[in-house]
Amino acid sequence: MRTLCAVVLVFEAVVIGLAIPIAINLEGADPAVAGGVWGGMALAALLLSGLQKHTWAHYASWVLQAAFLFSSFMVTGAPLVAIVFVSLWVTGVILGRRVDAVRAAHKERAEQEEGAGVGGPS
């Protein structure tokens, strides 16, 4: 799950970073505000993508998703992009948990077969 979520965060950081000049040039946002808010979120997304092995970073990423969604209303069209990334995030968490469960079950079954001596070379 953590790998899939990290990938979503990296792509999200790129999109957030690309939204800064759009907010400044097309929406007339203050460069300091747009750069500070969205630049900070892009940097946080990159940092959190590398720290997904920690539980606190995963929860902080949920907060980042909410912040991106709420701040996206500064730029026309950005709420749609934010909804897409929040959807990718939720999908990544759900599918990632399923993959983790299947891996754990496969590992457990392999350990049981190994302990019983089944499946070894004869």
Per-residue pLDDT of the chain (122 residues; tens, 9 = 90+): 788 889 999 999 999 999 899 889 988 889 999 999 999 999 999 999 999 999 999 999 999 999 999 998 888 888 999 999 999 999 988 988 898 889 889 999 998 888 887 655 55
> What predicted TM-score, i.e. pTM, was given to this entire model?
0.79
Predicted local confidence at residue 76, as pLDDT: 85
Cα–Cα distance for residue pair 75/115, rounded to 1 Å? 59
Cα–Cα distance for residue pair 98/96, rounded to 1 Å? 5
